[in-house]
Amino acid sequence: MSDLPAAEVPAAEAPMSETPAAEGPTLEEPASEVPAPGREQIVVLDVVVGVSALAAATAAGVGRRARRVVRPAVGLMLRPPLVPRRYRADTLLSGLAQYGLSRRPELRRQLAARLAPVLPEIVAVILEPLDLTEIVKNSVDLDEVVAGVDLDKAVERLDLNKVLVRLDIPGLAEGVIAEVDLAEIIRQSTGSVASETVRGVRMQSIAGDEAIGRAVGRIRLRLGRKVPATEP
């Protein structure tokens, strides 16, 4: 037993009744008398895991020692000398293994058929507390997934008429025509010298109107300032 592997036993932790004080204990209840339930469960779980690991390591060590001792006897039992091959135990066992391998797909199908009614419920119970969206976001490379999608085929399956119905086609057309200034293009391509002249005269007249309007405004302003000065 001295050859047993030294399992790593975690150092003894502080008794569970002594939990570290929470920040700023309130006047109502000191933090040391109310341990967080979540932390206690984790400590218990750690203890169980530690005991199990220790037991498994011990069992593995014992198994290795026992195998060394038992192996010759087992070999003799499976392949006894002077016994024809077809009557040996290892031949029988090999045959049974082959039979099991051939039956495995059928057994898998039967098991799946039996589990099918209850499997969705089991999966739902397991998945309910999980946030699958966060798990997928954090664990799945969505860019790589999308890169593998054949978008051409996806577009082929689209009904473009339904997409077009959702668009405001007249509004879009108006916007394009306004941006392109189609009216100006038509004017330039079909306009005559006379129409260009008229357009020029109109714009010059508008400029003249504004100039006169400003001049009259200034004169009025000056007249308005002069009036108080002339009053007694």
Partner 1 sequence: MEGISAVPKEARGYQGRPAGLITRAVAALVDTIVVVVLLLVGYLGVNGALFLIDPRGFHFTEASPLPIVTTALLAMFLYLFAAWSITGRTYGCHVMGLRVIGHRGRRPGVVVALLRSLLYCLFPIGLVLCAGGRNHRSLQDFMVRTSVIYDWQPRQFD
- Nearest one of 192, 214, 210 to 202, comparing CA atoms: 210
The residue among 9 and 212 lying less far from partner 1, judged by its C-beta, is 212
| Torsion over CA: 147, 152, 156, 160 (sign) | positive
- The 10 Å Cβ neighbour count of residue 169 is 10
Residue 220 to residue 126: CA distance in whole angstroms: 86
The residue among 121 and 168 lying less far from partner 1, judged by its C-beta, is 168
Query: In the complex, what is the shortest distance from the CB of residue 141 to partner 1, in angstroms, rounded to a whole number?
Result: 40
Query: In the complex, what is the shortest distance from the CB of residue 169 to partner 1, in angstroms, rounded to a whole number?
Result: 14
Query: In the complex, what is the shortest distance from the CB of residue 124 to partner 1, in angstroms, rounded to a whole number?
Result: 50
Count of residues interacting with partner 1 (CB under 8 A): 25
Structure tokens at 213: 């309007």
Burial 88-125 (b: 16+ CB within 10 A, else e): beeeeeeeeeeeeeeeeeeeeeeeeeeeeeeeeeeeee
Question: 57 near 5, Cβ under 8 Å?
Answer: yes
The residue among 4 and 221 lying less far from partner 1, judged by its C-beta, is 221
Query: In the complex, what is the shortest distance from the CB of residue 227 to partner 1, in angstroms, rounded to a whole number?
Result: 17
Query: In the complex, what is the shortest distance from the CB of residue 145 to partner 1, in angstroms, rounded to a whole number?
Result: 38
HSE of 212 in the Cβ direction (CA atoms, 13 Å)?
A: 6
What residues from 193 to 232 belong to the interface with partner 1 (CB under 8 A)? Answer: 198-199, 201-203, 205-206, 208-210, 212-213, 216-217, 220
| Torsion over CA: 12, 15, 20, 22 (sign) | positive
- Nearest one of 105, 85, 107 to 95, comparing CA atoms: 85
The residue among 67 and 214 lying less far from partner 1, judged by its C-beta, is 214
Residue 20 to residue 34: CA distance in whole angstroms: 10
The residue among 71 and 222 lying less far from partner 1, judged by its C-beta, is 222
What residues from 140 to 199 belong to the interface with partner 1 (CB under 8 A)? Answer: 174-175, 177-179, 181-184, 187, 198-199
Query: In the complex, what is the shortest distance from the CB of residue 190 to partner 1, in angstroms, rounded to a whole number?
Result: 12
The residue among 94 and 195 lying less far from partner 1, judged by its C-beta, is 195
Question: Would you tell me which residues interact with partner 1 (CB under 8 A)?
Answer: 174-175, 177-179, 181-184, 187, 198-199, 201-203, 205-206, 208-210, 212-213, 216-217, 220
